[in-house]
Homo-oligomer: A and B are copies of this chain.
Amino acid sequence: MIGGGTGAFIGDAHRRASRISNRFELIGGAFDVDYEKGKVFAKSEGIDSTRCYATMEDFVSGELSLPEEKRIEAVAIVTPNYLHFPYAKMLLENGFHVMCEKPMTMTVEEAEELQQLVVKTGLSFALAHTYTGYPMVREMKTLISQGILGDIQRVDAQYYQGWINSIIHGRENKITGVWRLEPEYSGISSCMADIGVHAFNMLEYTTGLQVKRVLSDLNNVHESAKLDLDGTVLLRFDENLRGVIRASQVAAGEENGFKIAIYGSKASFRWEQENPNELLLLSDTEPTRVYKPGNAYNTEFADMSHTMPAGHPEGIYESLANIYSGFAKSILGESLVEGEFPTVQEGVRGMKFVHGVVKSDKENNTWVDL
């Protein structure tokens, strides 16, 4: 693991999820830019001090000096965004499988370089689009692929959070400390790169279709903000299939309000991340159906993504654990269901989205091809 030391919630999420999947063991890493803090953290996790490295370079050389059977096989990158690309590249070039946080890189070019590297090395590369691991998301993907909705006519995704609101309005004085708001660490976007891209990914993941063009209206909201904290993106798949992504980090009181709706000619799906174990199928002609995991009627993909009996709620750690399981199966060459973990291709799509959206906004809200 690279990054993710004391206090880093994403790092902790990855550790928990990998333990749930029961296919990984945390052996070593470079956990903190402050090496002393990293060592304290490693000790608290019961990690051998020789496997706690000061830097990425030390990590690679240290591990490569070990015999292959003792060497760390896979690395989770849970650093701020600007380090994703150089670290992922270095790891792939040295033979490590990579689990990477999103957004995958800072630029589209970097993303494509990574994609080529994955193809060339044949290593496994997973991107942490955690929400694609939820069983009801997978149920939706499978049922759509079987045609349950008819022709898709409209898509609509919302990702509303409120956490930056208190920062820009000075109720919490930590704006300078939030790397996500600093372009040099975060990249060209805050809201769209952090959460809008999840919405984009989920729409393409569940429908199996690709967005062709975007038109966006982004909003920094407050003079102190250097990046977008809020925005709306119009989507064109083709002339008759359009949609919208709405995202905000200043929607006061919203926690992690990620919702998607896929409207077809015969029926439609709605799903909400904060209530992940319910999937609604709306129909023109029948009562709405509520799908839940753990039931005999579930598709195989949903069924393998939920372990408890029906009515026992699993959550976001289990969702990420499902992705870790897929990643493990890929590393071990086991057979996979399509969509069992997000790949480098999805990382490339995501970077095209982020850059397309920022470009559209800068060019007076005009259409940009992805």
Contact = CB atoms under 8 A, between A and B. Distances in A.
A314 interface: yes
Interface in A344-370: 365-367
A309 B256 contact: yes
Interface stretch (A48-56, A96-104, A277-285): A277-285
A154 interface: yes
Contact of A154 (B222, B230, B277): B230
B230 A242 contact: yes
A226 to B, nearest CB: 15
B308 A316 contact: yes
Contacts of A9: 307-309
A34 to B, nearest CB: 22
Given A230-B242, A244-B244, A318-B317, A265 B312 contact: no
Contacts of A246: 156, 244
Interface in A260-291: 261, 263-268, 273-277, 281-291
A276 B45 CA distance: 29
Copy tally for this chain in the complex stands at 4
A171 B252 contact: no
Interface string A131-168: 00000000000000000011001101010111101100
Given A153-B221, A162-B284, A312 B316 contact: yes
Interface stretch (A12-20, A58-66, A197-205): A12-20
Contact of A313 (B19, B153, B165, B313): B313
Given A153-B221, A162-B263, 11 more contacts: A150-B169, A154-B251, A169-B265, A232-B232, A252-B283, A254-B268, A255-B311, A256-B309, A256-B310, A274-B313, A287-B291
Contact of A252 (B282, B290, B312): B282
Contacts of A285: 166, 171, 296-297
Nearest to A242: B219
A294 interface: yes
Interface in A1-51: 9, 12-13, 15-16, 19-20, 22, 45
Interface in A212-232: 215, 217, 219, 221-222, 230, 232
13 contacts: A19-B19, A19-B22, A160-B263, A215-B215, A234-B365, A252-B264, A287-B289, A287-B291, A288-B289, A312-B315, A313-B315, A315-B317, A365-B365
Contacts of A129: none
Interface in A317-355: 317-318
A206 interface: no
Contacts of A180: none
Nearest to A12: B307
A114 interface: no
Contacts of A315: 312-315, 317-318
A88 interface: no
B13 A308 contact: yes
A191 to B, nearest CB: 11
Given A242-B230, A289-B289, A314-B317, A250 B20 contact: no
A122 to B, nearest CB: 26
A311 B232 contact: no
Contacts of A317: 20, 308, 314-315, 317-318
